[in-house]
Amino acid sequence: MKVGIVVFPGSNCDEDAFHVAGQVLGHQPQMLWHKDHDLRGSELIILPGGFSYGDYLRCGAIARFAPVMEEVAAFARKGGPVIGICNGFQILTEAGLLPGALLQNANRQYICQDVILRAEKARTRFVRDLAPGEQFKIPIAHGDGNYFIDDEGLKRLEGEGQVVFRYVGNPNGSRADIAGIVNSSGNVLGMMPHPERNAEPLLGNADGRRVLASLLH
């Protein structure tokens, strides 16, 4: 599968995503520059973590207007699979491709640590290889990972099976322990934890490989 990885000024997990998609999982990754107007035949898009445009305005707020995002939005509207990880999740909410917003962590501090993630029963292709209730240890690294949505929005997420991952022990104050969600069509996923950062035993924990193998199935 051709996996397009979008590179914004300030992206810092693009190479990790490229390595895991290609060398670890055997797909065909390609880098897409933020000024591109062509997804070059990509069958799945990844918006990686980092600090797009330095997060100078608000996390993801400037990247949302990048030329490539017009193509990503059109791709998503046609049912194309899109995954946003960390800063990528923030970009997806800013672009209106996912509901809710990512706020500053409840403790007002940057958090970089391993967390336990639980897979939920969700209406999406992304977790069909993961059993509901399965738990994984993967890292987070963010200052603005506190997911918020209003009561009506939360009821909709819960009722329509759009919650994909929850934290076991909430590190950042996210509403209802939410760590990852999909859109109502199930083809756009946003998650704050970084499965691409521990997808090989050499790194001491390969749980991320299991998660990414399912996401990129």
Give the 3-state secondary structure of residue 94. helix
Give me the residues paired with residue 136 across strands.
117
Position 212 scores a pLDDT of 94
Token look-up 């200052």 returns: 143
- The CB density around residue 139, as the number of other CB atoms within 10 Å, is 20
Q: Would strands 111-119 and 163-167 be described as parallel, antiparallel, or unpaired?
A: antiparallel
- Look up residue 112 and give its amino acid: C
**Active site (annotated) includes residue 43:** no
Quick one: tokens of 179?
């760590």
**Active site (annotated) includes residue 194:** yes
Q: What residues contact 145, with CB distance under 8 A and at least 6 apart? A: 86, 102, 105, 111, 171, 172, 174, 192
- How far is it, in rounded angstroms, from Cα 214 to Cα 127? 6
DSSP per-residue letters across 138-178: EEEEESS-EEE--HHHHHHHHHTT-EEEEESS-SS--GGGE
Q: Are 130 and 211 in contact (CB under 8 A)?
A: yes
Q: Are 77 and 38 in contact (CB under 8 A)?
A: no
Q: Are 163 and 174 in contact (CB under 8 A)?
A: no
What are the pLDDT tens digits along the chain (217 aa)?
A: 999 999 999 999 999 999 999 999 999 999 999 999 999 999 999 999 999 999 998 999 999 999 999 999 999 999 999 999 999 999 999 999 999 999 999 999 999 999 999 999 999 999 988 999 999 999 999 999 999 999 999 999 999 999 999 999 999 999 999 999 999 999 999 999 999 999 999 988 999 999 999 998 7
Position 195 scores a pLDDT of 97
Of 27, 34, 86, 142, which one is the catalytic site residue?
A: 86
Q: What angle do CA 172, 58, 36 make, to 5 degrees?
A: 115
- How far is it, in rounded angstroms, from Cα 153 to Cα 115? 25
Query: Hey, what domains does the chain have and what are their CATH numbers?
Result: 2-215 (3.40.50.880)
